[in-house]
Amino acid sequence: MALVDDGDNANTLSMLVATDNHLGYLERDPIRGQDSFLAFTEIMQIARDRKVDMVLLGGDLFHDNKPSRKCLHQALTILKSTCLGPDPVSLEYLSDPHVDFASNTQVNYEDPNLNISLPVFTIHGNHDDPSGDGNLSAVDMLAACGLVNYFGRQPEVEKVRVSPVLLRKGETRLALYGLGNIRDERLHRTMARGNLSMCQPTEDEGRWFNLMVLHQNRAAHGPKNHIPEHFLSEFLDFVIWGHEHQCLVDPQYNHQRAFYVSQPGSSVATALSQGEATPKHVAVLKINRRNFKLEKVRLKNVRPFVIDDVVLATVPTLSPQSTEDEIVDFLKNKVERMLVIAQQQYHEQRDGALGPQPKPLVRLRVEYSGGFESFHPQRFGLLFADRVANPRDIIYFFRKQRSSTASTQASVPSNLVVAPVDALHVESLIGEFLDDSSMRMLVDLELAEAVRLFVAKGDTDAIVQSLKSTISDTQRRVLTSGSVGSEEQLEERIGETRVARRRHAVESGHGASETRGEAVVPAVVAGKRATVTNNDRNAIKAFERIAATSTPVTEPEDDRGSEESDKEDDFRPPPPPSKKKRPRQPIVTSDSEDEFVTTASGVKITRPSRNARTTLALASSASVKSTSGDEIEDSEECSLPSSIVSPPPAKRGRTGSRGAAPSKRAARGRGRGRGTVSTQRTVSSLASQMPAITINDNDDDDGGGESRGFGGFSLRKRK
């Protein structure tokens, strides 16, 4: 590491480096809710005070994949107050913005509509990675506002190509490589196979300072769930490593690859672990030609955090026969000493925005092996409720893990061959479930990815979007692949679609395919057997004959559906007919929570009650063809009627001499989707011309009339 001449400012490119800001962490906590924002404000203010040329962020700018509006508002406010201004930017952008940036077509400080004085370059992390509809990240919103330059996104993971952002200041040329977070196992496999390529500038070769920022596991938690440093290219000069929260900001030299690695760590503690207790720093990196200098800056607006361990068996004044009060008194005195240490640490940082005496974070790990008994940690925390920021989890009890004894090993016969235990993965569980069930349209990898997004990212629409995509694409492929003459051909088409989608999921490396259905309403029939009825086959043939010549069907207006759907969560059957015997009209519902919406203009399929059946019909003046989603939305030639829902026929039973008495269920009327009003079924006038689509939500886990599952979707033979 060569020193940089501080007097050569015209040729010295300076940047502030920070990672893992986790904006919005515990934002609803009355004590710690503003910690992440105060630290990020201090970071950006340091950049302004040091007059750096740029800010480089290493991922996880947001803590949540879908940050709240309050969090986004505060982030935008901080960036706007520090990034905008009249000062000119001394960096010259030399590369192609269409390759570097996914959200913008140019670097933000060259936009004539913006007045950027401090450019920010950032990649995404595992918390704010792209997901959901449009595969967008929360960082995309900041980039769309022109406040950050978002780079390092990869369209696929099986073959990764990293192109540098080329910047120049005077005689200093910087090739900035960014790699947003990819699941460590996938990236490890890709790099081990040699499928990661890094492009180098051909002009002025040998004069570029090669800097890379990535967001992956650095510590080895397993053989393949981290990225070894020797996997990175040896032509690199400096590596900024995000994702690891322990602050190791001082450059560490890798002798195998001959580059330096700096790990700034997080700016806010998101876990009560030993790594988070390290004092928080950011770095000011100065680059002059091929030389660099790193200066670490300690953050002031960081809540003090003290962690310590105690083994009760080693305390002379305690024994397994000690009372709970004696153990509590000992631990109370231990916490008191930790509070004094925390106050001293904060005074070393100098008072900041947290106030003169902020409540610290305290974690005491207590090993109670050897016959000791634990007690309720939250009850202990009440003793310090007004003095610490985490009274609920001050104490953490644990026992020492027991190793296998010699007697246990001797009890195993020497000639016994132990079969390897397969790891339990959600993909294998979903695959086994789909193999045993009749849901032949679903792809295991897509459904597993949707479950992962639902659990890990909080994307509540992930599973619904995956089902929509599968159903729509299957519908489109079946109807556009030619006539279907038999049930076997229909099942074959569905199987081909599933194989194609699974192949696409494997090749793209994503669990959820980005394929979208464009043509028609998602057609699903629910049941236990993967067959269709004769009426369905005849309707499909009739649809093929008239698809090119039929006229658009205008959707009838009905003012009742929208008012009812705002008040109820589930579909409710129509009330009993009045005595005047008015002509029954189809009831159109648009329940906001239990409906499937296609990519066509506002087409909705309503979720019926347990035994209700829905018949849909489609007519179009143009033949069915594969088009994009935008073309369907803008088209006025295709108009679809709403779903016409009718209750099942009345059950036959014995009646008295005076006629049938109304049942208790019928008296309830519109009761949570379980009414049994005896009415005749209303049939769509287009049912004889269009493919009939039956939806039977026969969920066995419905409780109290509220749906808790998606039911089984498959082709069914009507009995």
- What is the amino acid identity at position 124? H
**Could you say which of 22, 63, 124, 127 is catalytic?**
127
* Sequence-distant (≥ 6) Cβ neighbours of residue 203 within 8 angstroms: none
Q: How many helices (H) and strands (E) does the chain have?
A: 16, 24
Q: Which residues pair with 644 in a beta bridge?
A: 615
DSSP letter string over 614-630? EE---EESS------HH
Whether 243 sits among the annotated catalytic residues: the reply is: no
Picking from 521, 605, 433, 604, the residue whose alpha carbon sits closest to that of residue 447 is 433
Q: Measure the CA–CA gap between 290 and 174, rounded to whole angstroms.
A: 9
Q: Which residues pair with 198 in a beta bridge?
A: 162
How many Cα atoms occupy the beta-carbon half-sphere of 348 within 13 Å?
10
Could you tell me where the DSSP H helices lie in 30-83?
35-50, 69-83
* Sequence-distant (≥ 6) Cβ neighbours of residue 126 within 8 angstroms: 59, 60, 181, 215, 243
Picking from 274, 203, 200, 183, the residue whose alpha carbon sits closest to that of residue 237 is 200
Beta strands in 105-171 (DSSP E): 120-122, 149-150, 160-162, 165-169
Backbone φ/ψ region at 464: left (φ over 0), alpha (ψ -120 to 50), beta: alpha
Judged by DSSP in three states, 142 sits in helix
What is the 3 state secondary structure string of 573-596? CCCCCCCCCCCCCCECCCCCCCEE
Neighbours of 512 (CB within 10 A): 26
Supply the residues annotated as catalytic. Answer: 127
